[in-house]
Amino acid sequence: MQEMANVYFDGKHYQVPSDLTIMTAMEYAGYQLVRGCGCRHGFCGACGAIYRIKGENKPHFALACQTKVEEGMYVATLPFFPLAHRDYDMEEIKPTEQVMMEIFPEIFACVGCNSCTKSCSRGLNVMQYIAYAKRGDYAKCAETSFDCVACGICSARCPANISHTLVGLLARRLTGKYILPPAGHTAQRAADIAEGKFDAAMTKLMAKSKEEMKELYDNRDFEK
Amino acid sequence: MKPKQMTKPSPFTPHMLESIRKVEATRGVRLQNEPRRLSADEKRVLLDEFHPDYGDKGFSKIEIGPNAGEKAPKELTALLHSKSRISGLDLDLNKIDFDTDVLIIGGGGAGASAAIEAKQAGSDVLIVTKLRMGDSNSMMAEGGIQASDKDNDSPMQHYLDAMGGGHYYNKPELLKHLVMQGAEAIRWLESLGVMFDKHQDGTMMTFPGGGLSRKRLHACADYTGAEITRVLKDEVSNLGIKIVDYTAAVELILDKDGNAAGAVLMNMLTGEYLIARAKTVIIATGGAGRMHYHGFPTTNHYGATADGLVMAYRAGCNLLYQDTIQYHPTGTAYPVQLFGALVTEKVRAVGAMLINVEGEAFVHPLETRDVAASAIIRECHSHKLGVDIPGGAGVWLDTPMIEIIHGEGKIASALPGMLRMFMNYGIDMRQTPVLVYPTFHYQNGGVEIEASGNTSRIHNLFIAGEAAGGIHGRNRLLGNSMLDVIVFGRLAGQSAAKAAKTAKIGSLTLNHVKEYESQIAAAKLDTGDISPILLPKYTRDVNFGKFQ
């Protein structure tokens, strides 16, 4: 006999096999998911979930696709949270201390309650990356927020109405574009190709017969 | 990255633990001995016998349409032999809900890249996506993106690797465009703010990979696709491109001249049908993993149900290499909650070997994906040297080797997503190997495209990303999919914007859908189902057995 668990989706009781995830347990219960289901492997943030275990006070925050059901679990899903996206032009903005203040001024209303960190489904130090953003240390903010999957739970918990994931995203874009040293060799190669420097060699290779191509392929050297 | 430390009992069975001891016992010797690469003949024999593509089981014949007489996975054939969702509905095509220059179906990496280019070329752009913008296989690509931008590498070397990897079936003009645009794609992404892994001086870190003769794989830790896709998605928003989410395209609309002119859309939440009219249409609907061809689990996104193939086929486009599927050698085999989830090839690229139950390395870890997957299938089912897991078998991916080769901390820095995924279930991949088995990863083929991302059969219709066929031949190399998504996404956007400037839309029609259905009826093929299915059905039949 399969071991079963008693769980509650949006307050309604279901018995489900105890080795299922919250997501597959919902499907076992009869839900055909449209919202709140994306990559199913923990990368897309579509399936943020908040749960509490019966008899306990503390809420837990998780991705429904990555979390096993537990006995007495009361689950609410958070398929969407209205984040405040701000439009900006990456060519215009620069990684100055002011830029974050101009685009996401609400981060300066952070009261340091740490609710964001406590609610992160990925275990990230969210308040810390917001602090880095506030002081203009975008590289640190980028690094600390890198594993964010944008489930939005932190923003749902934030008393200062911060859209944390968007702050992290801006910091990462600033870092990728302006702070990390540019890859000169990549730009150079792109320019060389555009100028046609590889055209003749490519034409020559493409003119080879399948047999010649096989010969080249089977005997090519490998970089160690 | 510091994953939450958890003290959980070992998740492994006694049989697995005994095998782990054998893996540990051979590790020292294996670290000094790189397994031999297979010869071309050995590879052919292995593929013939063990790769699902090379048998007839699980395939059936397409009976109607441009590919009639060819084989396809039976699940795909069933989609092509099914009725339209709008069958029998007399939709009024004069009631237009969206009127645009360029309609893009799909909000993954290819759709977003196309949208950015089309918008910058001056077009009015509309993206429809059946889930949320960004929800896609692109978001889940972990390993990296190829480009030949190092001194010891060249577009020709990249071409050769991909042509051999694709078994010489790649369409030469398409492959040429892919490799010649590699460095430009990386440069473009860098300019948008994608955080590539770099050395102190800005030189890109590049990694080896299966079938790659050079270290050509660019990465953003093991979140490469997620990092690229979230940046593209943000850029789409910043450019003010209109996105309609939770809205699937269910049929293409043509005009009286047979040119693509829009799509019938359906709100996924309410079922409302909507009409989009467009001067040009780009299909960027992605793959088919959720069709579970040959019964395999999948690494793919929830929405990967071959929608674009079905719509384009009904409208008259032909498919190419629809019978070739890429099984990623290393899907998670255990624990059950992660069954089928991707363990990125980068894990092997940085040193982990594939090991059988006795602790032996049975294949070079960086053979091409079809070869490595076949070797695992052979090890489990023919050699009977797999590790027993509930309901099947798997082999070890010896991840602790990575830390021995590169030093402590390498897994946390290079593979944070993988570490977190397994740690969630009490498996510390720094300390113990992980269990893997091939999983449905990619459709190598798709709707055949031509040099500008267009289809040869329908004007003003473009295909980009995994839905397109021809670039990768019959087996794609790792890191060429993310590159394809960017390069051919951008190309489709540019081509569609250009075509939209001169396109004249005639009166709209869905006659092609009716004609296709009369072919189904004439051939007595009707499956009783409708397609595209839009989402897989994993819901338990709660009323099973309740009816007399």
Q: What is the DSSP string of B211-262?
A: T-SS--EE-STT-HHHHHHHHHHHHHHHTT-EEE-SEEEEEEEEETTS-EEE
- Mean per-residue pLDDT, B445-462: 98
- Mean per-residue pLDDT, B383-408: 95
Q: Across chain B, which distance is largest between two alpha carbons, in Å?
A: 73
Q: Report yes or no on A145 lying in a domain.
A: yes
Instruction: Tell me, yes or no, whether B157 and B283 share the same domain.
Output: yes
Closest alpha carbon within chain B to A20 = B337
- A window 10-39, beta carbon within 8 A of B: 19-21, 24, 27-35, 37-39
Q: Report yes or no on B67 lying in a domain.
A: no
Q: Say if residue B121's pLDDT is above 70.
A: yes
CB contacts, 8 Å: A39 with chain B: 135, 139-140, 301-302
Q: Say if residue B431's pLDDT is above 60.
A: yes
State the helix-helix crossing angle for B224-238 and B109-120, rounded to 10 degrees.
30
How far apart are the C-alpha atoms of B74 and B538, rounded to whole Å? Answer: 19
Cβ within 8 Å, pair A67-B424: yes
Instruction: Tell me, yes or no, whether A110 and A171 share the same domain.
Output: yes
- Mean per-residue pLDDT, A140-165: 97
Query: With bands split at pLDDT 50, 70 and 90, how would you rate the model's confidence at B526?
Result: confident
Q: Report yes or no on A85 lying in a domain.
A: no
Closest alpha carbon within chain A to B34 = A224
CB contacts, 8 Å: A187 with chain B: 183, 187
Query: With bands split at pLDDT 50, 70 and 90, how would you rate the model's confidence at B391?
Result: confident
Q: Report yes or no on A50 lying in a domain.
A: yes
- Residue B230 bears catalytic tag: no
Instruction: Tell me, yes or no, whether B186 and B263 share the same domain.
Output: yes
**For residue B548, what pLDDT is reported?**
85
- Mean per-residue pLDDT, B47-71: 95
**For residue A18, what pLDDT is reported?**
94
**For residue A48, what pLDDT is reported?**
97
Instruction: Tell me, yes or no, whether A12 and A46 share the same domain.
Output: yes
Facing residue for A182 by CB, picked from B156, B202, B213: B202
- Residue B512 bears catalytic tag: no
Number of domains in chain A: 2
Instruction: Tell me, yes or no, whether A62 and A122 share the same domain.
Output: no
Instruction: Tell me, yes or no, whether A74 and A104 share the same domain.
Output: no
Last residue of a domain, one of B440, B457, B475: B440
Average pLDDT, whole number, for chain B? 95
Percent of chain B with pLDDT over 90: 95
Q: Report yes or no on A106 lying in a domain.
A: yes
pLDDT in tens, A112-136: 999 999 999 999 999 999 999 999 9
The DSSP element (H or E) to which A53 belongs, if any, is strand A48-53
End-to-end CA gap in chain A: 53
Instruction: Tell me, yes or no, whether B147 and B283 share the same domain.
Output: yes
Q: Report yes or no on B38 lying in a domain.
A: no
Percent of chain B with pLDDT over 70: 98
pLDDT in tens, B329-351: 999 999 988 999 999 999 999 99
Instruction: Tell me, yes or no, whether A105 and A72 share the same domain.
Output: no
The DSSP element (H or E) to which B329 belongs, if any, is strand B325-332
How far apart are the C-alpha atoms of B489 and B474, rounded to whole Å? Answer: 21
**For residue B496, what pLDDT is reported?**
98
- A window 178-197, beta carbon within 8 A of B: 180-187, 189-190, 193-194
**For residue A120, what pLDDT is reported?**
97
If you write DSSP's letter for every residue of A15-33 in order, what string do you get?
EEETTSBHHHHHHHHT---
Cβ within 8 Å, pair A32-B539: yes
Which residue of B189, B234, B236 is the best one to mutate when testing the A interface, meaning the one whose CB has the most A CBs within 10 A? B234
Facing residue for A123 by CB, picked from B3, B200, B301: B3
Instruction: Tell me, yes or no, whether B315 and B396 share the same domain.
Output: no
Q: Report yes or no on B72 lying in a domain.
A: no
R_g of chain B, CA atoms, integer Å:
23
pLDDT in tens, B162-213: 999 999 999 999 999 999 999 999 999 999 999 999 999 999 999 999 999 9
Number of domains in chain B: 2
Instruction: Tell me, yes or no, whether A109 and A171 share the same domain.
Output: yes
Instruction: Tell me, yes or no, whether B411 and B381 share the same domain.
Output: yes
Last residue of a domain, one of B440, B455, B470: B440
Residue span of the structural domain in which B405 resides:
14-33+327-440
Residue span of the structural domain in which A154 resides:
97-179
User: Is this prediction's ipTM beyond 0.95?
Assistant: yes
- Mean per-residue pLDDT, B393-407: 97
DSSP-assigned letter for residue B358: T
Q: Report yes or no on B119 lying in a domain.
A: yes
Instruction: Give this prediction's pTM.
Output: 0.96
Instruction: Tell me, yes or no, whether A61 and A133 share the same domain.
Output: no
Last residue of a domain, one of B509, B524, B541: B509
Which of B158, B328, B364, B490 is labelled catalytic?
B328
Q: Report yes or no on B374 lying in a domain.
A: yes
CB contacts, 8 Å: A21 with chain B: 337
Q: Report yes or no on A187 lying in a domain.
A: no
Cβ within 8 Å, pair B193-A44: no
Instruction: Tell me, yes or no, whether A8 and A44 share the same domain.
Output: yes
State the helix-helix crossing angle for B511-522 and B307-315, rounded to 10 degrees.
90
- Mean per-residue pLDDT, B503-519: 97
**For residue B1, what pLDDT is reported?**
45
pLDDT in tens, A12-51: 999 999 999 999 999 999 999 999 999 999 999 999 999 9
